[in-house]
Amino acid sequence: MPDQDVDDAAEAGLPVEGPVEPTLDILRHSSAHLMAAAVVELFPGAQYDVGPAIADGFFYNFRLPGGATFSEQDLSRIEKRMKQKAAQRIPFVREVMPRSAAREMFQAMGQDFKVDIIDRIPADVEQVGVYRTGEFVDLCRGPHVPDSSWLKAVKLQRVAGVYWRGDERNEQLQRVYGTAWFSDEELQQYLDRIAEAERRDHRRLGRELDLFSFPDEIGSGLAVFHPRGGLMRRIMEDYSRQRHEAAGYEFVNSPHITKSDLFETSGHLDWFAESMFPPMELDGGTRYYLKPMNCPFHILIFRSRQRSYRELPLRLFEFGSVYRYEKSGVVHGLTRVRGMTQDDAHIFCTREQLASELHSLLVFVLGLLRDFGLSDFYLELSTKPEDKAVGTDDEWDEATEALRQAAQAMELELVMDEGGGAFYGPKISVQAHDAIGRTWQMSTIQVDFQEPQRFGLEYVGAGGERQRPIMIHRALFGSIERFFGVLVEHYAGDFPLWLAPVQCEIVPVQDNVPEVMDFVHEVAAQLRAAGLRAEVSDHPGVRMSKRVRDAELRHVPYVVVIGKQDVEAATGRIRVRDTRLPAEEAISEMAVAELVEKLRAEAALRGPEAVPRRAS
């Protein structure tokens, strides 16, 4: 269950029968109960809200007496008490109680959250399940492990403030996160993965490599890219533009704001308003919105004149800035922002062209992602939402089947996401595993019968009749910001040469010797003339070894060291350090022309072969 979207009322009702052997989710749910039992012992008067299993762990929400908060030291105390309870083999005892009796019991215990949950369950639910773990009792349907001895490989990780029931208008509770596994070995492997993920955290690397920042003066979820990050971003965008141009896309541009009429017609104000920024009133009361999507603008471009079947498929592409009001609790670095640039394409085609367009789109998308070094994919097909969709079942079925056939042709694993489509159509999302096995949603492709209808789009067919086009929405990176963050973590800052902001740094040993500096700048000029990104380490008075180390810390792939002896030898050969290789393999000697050719050849590589191994 996603930790930001908990249906707490689902905890109330008759108990659920579990499998013969407890699953990892059951183990983690039981661990949440054991943690709550420890908390109420250590913090008398604590109230407990909900405590589900989530991906890789569990959490429980608490209200502490007097508005107190947990400290890091408290986590150690709670974990110690949990281990004591695990050693006691306390059974998890299931009990079925009349709803009214359970309400009276939790009210007498002062557990207001449990009373609230019971009050919100459907009126026809007359009995509820509770579980007792020693003196601790919780409203719960289960299932659980037989006893606490199963819960020895447990680690509490962090505390976060969350709003009760996810509503920022409510009070803030204390959420304690933990993880649980069947064995200490599995737990340690997980903790090692977490440590590696922290080493790769794009927020930390963004600061260390001087790529981007989030100034408080601008606001939450709004990034600024520094020169090196801006350069890398431009390289990404330029390569994407080249590939789109070669694939027959036409480039368009649209404004950042629009009158509300546009989003009323598109349906976004009916179905997406909670994710939009509030309107601005201008021109005597006319409401304007920051755009959350580019698609209505591209629709207007299509509709700007009469279209012929000969123009289809029409592929429009834009790096379009959009703005979405994400709740502060879910904003996270570059991977969840409020202002972003989408590499957005919209394809207008005939029904007969739909299958071939979807096939070529998936081939194009997967190829471009592979160029950026991602290669382990599966596809997810999201179908019609039950209560948030427009259009007929027949239209949804046709669109879903077209996507299914295109996905199956890619010969990748296809996972169903029932009810996960957008309000106007089903979608395929490309899910990619990064270097440490985490899954990221990348590209999305959506088939849309609805927006062409809402905007009255038409083209003139071969027989002169007016027909309705089909619209395909496609975001390849998702957003530039998010994809940038994913690449930083995938490569841990060790970018392939073609993406590295600085490809080669030249370090003079003696800054005060003109002959040395002349040769340094000559080498830099030759590299730049070949289209390579070279910098001179111009820091007089700083020792050469420190400059080399600084370049390594900034993940510069190549460092060239030039001293007086190199100039006096007059051989034209220089010492080159590949900072990504182990020390015994890192240093080589070559002519300047050889270095230029070596770097040019490597910078031309794309995909996994472009990434040499990194020294550990």
Q: pLDDT digits over 33-82, tens only?
A: 999 999 999 999 999 999 999 989 999 999 999 989 999 899 999 999 99
The pLDDT value recorded for residue 271 is: 84
Active site (annotated) includes residue 473: yes
Per residue in 377-386, pLDDT (tens digit) is: 999 999 988 8
d(CA 533, CA 502): 5
Q: Does a cis peptide bond (omega within 30 degrees of 0) precede residue 540?
A: no
pLDDT tens for each residue of 133-173: 999 999 999 899 999 999 999 999 999 998 898 887 899 99
Chain-centroid distance of CA 188 in Å reads: 25
Residue with tokens 């905890």: 11
- Strand, coil or helix: 250: strand
Average the pLDDT over 524-531 and give the result: 96
Please state, in angstroms and rounded to a whole number, the distance separating the CA atoms of residues 238 and 515.
38
Q: Is there a catalytic annotation at residue 324?
A: yes
Please give the pLDDT value at position 62. 97
Share above pLDDT 70 across residues of the chain, in percent, rounded to a whole number: 97
Share of the chain above pLDDT 90, in %: 79
pLDDT computed for residue 197 by the predictor: 93
Contact between residue 130 and residue 13 where contact means Cβ atoms under 8 Å apart:
no
pLDDT in tens, 167-204: 878 999 999 999 999 999 999 999 999 999 999 999 99
Residue 5 pLDDT exceeds 60:
no
Cα–Cα distance between 220 and 151 in angstroms, integer? 39
Q: What is the mean pLDDT of residues 242-257?
A: 96
Does the pLDDT of residue 615 top 80, yes or no? no
pLDDT (0 to 100) of residue 9? 53
* Mean per-residue pLDDT over the chain, rounded: 92
- DSSP-based three-state secondary structure for 364: helix
> Using an 8 Å Cβ cutoff, are 180 and 57 in contact?
yes
Provide the pLDDT confidence category of residue 10 given band limits of 50, 70 and 90: low
pLDDT at 521 over 80: yes
Say if strands 439-448 and 280-282 run parallel, antiparallel, or are unpaired. unpaired
Active site residue 433: no
Q: Two tokens at 582?
A: 């182990």
Residue 388 has pLDDT above 90, yes or no: no
Alpha carbon distance 43, 45 (integer Å): 6
Residue 11 has pLDDT above 80, yes or no: no
Q: Which helix (H) or strand (E) holds 459?
A: strand 459-460
**At a CB cut-off of 8 Å and minimum separation 6, what does 119 contact?**
103
Give me the pLDDT at residue 539, please. 84
Q: 313: cis peptide before it, omega within 30°?
A: yes
pLDDT of res. 513: 87
At 137 the pLDDT is: 97
Q: Which of 33, 114, 202, 324 is catalytic?
A: 324
Q: Is 7 a catalytic residue?
A: no
Could you say which of 175, 233, 268, 295 is catalytic?
295
* Tokens (6 digits) for 297: 């603008």
Catalytic residue among 202, 244, 315, 346: 346
**Active-site residue identified among 33, 427, 490, 577:** 427
Strands (E), 79-187: 92-98, 127-133, 136-139, 153-163, 172-181
pLDDT at 2: 40
83 carries an active-site annotation:
no
Looking at residue 63, its pLDDT comes to: 96
Q: Are 338 and 325 in contact (CB under 8 A)?
A: yes
Q: Is there a catalytic annotation at residue 466?
A: no
- Answer yes or no: 295 catalytic: yes
User: What domains are defined for the chain?
Assistant: 8-199 (3.30.980.10), 208-255+290-491 (3.30.930.10), 504-610 (3.40.50.800)
Q: Bigger pLDDT: 245 or 584?
A: 245
The pLDDT of residue 369 is 96
Q: Concatenate the DSSP letters of all residues of 19-88 into one string.
A: PSS--HHHHHHHHHHHHHHHHHHHSTT-EE----EETTEEEEEEE-GGG----HHHHHHHHHHHHHHHHT
Q: Looking at residue 613, what is its pLDDT?
A: 59
Q: Of the listed 404, 473, 555, 580, which one is catalytic?
A: 473
pLDDT of 538 reads 84
Report the pLDDT value the prediction gives residue 3, as an integer from 0 to 100: 43
pLDDT for the residue 12 = 66
Angle, CA 287 vertex, CA 281 and CA 288 arms, to 5°: 95
Cα–Cα distance measured from residue 31 to residue 58, given in angstroms and rounded to the nearest whole number? 7
Give the closest residue to 368 by CA, choosing from 474, 254, 212, 218.
Answer: 474
Which position among 342, 353, 446, 450 bears the catalytic label?
342
- Whether the pLDDT of residue 351 is over 70: the answer is yes
**Which candidate, 530, 527, 572, 552, places its Cα nearest to that of 614?**
552
* Residue 439's pLDDT band (cuts 50, 70, 90): very high
- One of 344, 434, 448, 494 is an active-site residue; which one? 344
pLDDT of residue 329 exceeding 80, the answer is no
Query: Which residues fall within 8 angstroms of residue 560, CB to CB, at 6 or more apart?
Result: 504, 505, 506, 507, 523, 574, 575, 576, 577, 595
Nearest to 461 by CA among 316, 346, 345, 353: 353
Burial pattern 491-529, b for ≥16 Cβ within 10 A else e, equals bbbbbbbbbbbbbbbbbbbbbeeeebbebbeebbeebee
Contacts of 246 (CB under 8 A, 6+ apart): none
